[in-house]
Amino acid sequence: MIKGLGGDVTVNVIASIIASLVLLAAGFLWGKYKERRKYGRNLEDYDFYPFAINRENFPEFNLKDFRLGMHYFLKNNDYTAARQLIFIGEQNNVRGQLEPSEQKVYARLFEKYEGKKIADDTAEYLENYVRIVRLIGKSFPN
């Protein structure tokens, strides 16, 4: 079989290519794993996702699950999911719904995950949509 492939050099080249591909695949998978650990998962992957579907098939905000999420993310780091939780909390005015002791916990969470930046990013994101709608409106005279 070696003579059919061209000799020892060909076998060495093929073995080197296979070894390189295996190492490349292992490096890629390791990098994906490290990236996922660094940035975390989405909030809906957790059991305490703060929305539940009611009998009319409408999503309802669940303050109890929101509280569980607050405490979890203060003890465990997940940058992506915690910021999503803060975003949902700001949209649902949780500061007005939480008890004073829980408001302090939320303030710590807000500070830990840079909640102020989330609000600024959201405003900037929405400003882009306003600009797009305005420009589309200008493209249709009368």
Residues 91 and 65 placed together within one structural domain of the fold: yes
Residues 83 and 27 placed together within one structural domain of the fold: no
Residues 29 and 10 placed together within one structural domain of the fold: yes
Whole-model pTM?
A: 0.63
Residue 4 pLDDT: 58
Tens-digit pLDDT profile for residues 4-39: 556 788 888 999 999 999 999 999 999 888 877 777
Task: Report the number of distinct structural domains present in the chain.
Answer: 2
**Does residue 128 register a pLDDT over 90?**
no
Residues 90 and 128 placed together within one structural domain of the fold: yes
Residues 11 and 70 placed together within one structural domain of the fold: no
Instruction: State the residue range of the domain holding 122.
Output: 41-138
Query: How many of the other CB atoms lie within 10 Å of CB of 58?
Result: 9
Residues 116 and 53 placed together within one structural domain of the fold: yes
Tens-digit pLDDT profile for residues 30-84: 988 887 777 778 899 999 999 988 899 888 999 999 999 999 999 998 888 999 9
Pick from 62, 122, 128: which is nearest to 94 by CA?
62
Residues 61 and 9 placed together within one structural domain of the fold: no
- The Cα–Cα gap between 86 and 107 comes to 10
Residues 71 and 117 placed together within one structural domain of the fold: yes
**Does residue 2 register a pLDDT over 70?**
no
Residues 100 and 134 placed together within one structural domain of the fold: yes
Give just the sign of the alpha carbon dihedral 62, 79, 119, 104. positive
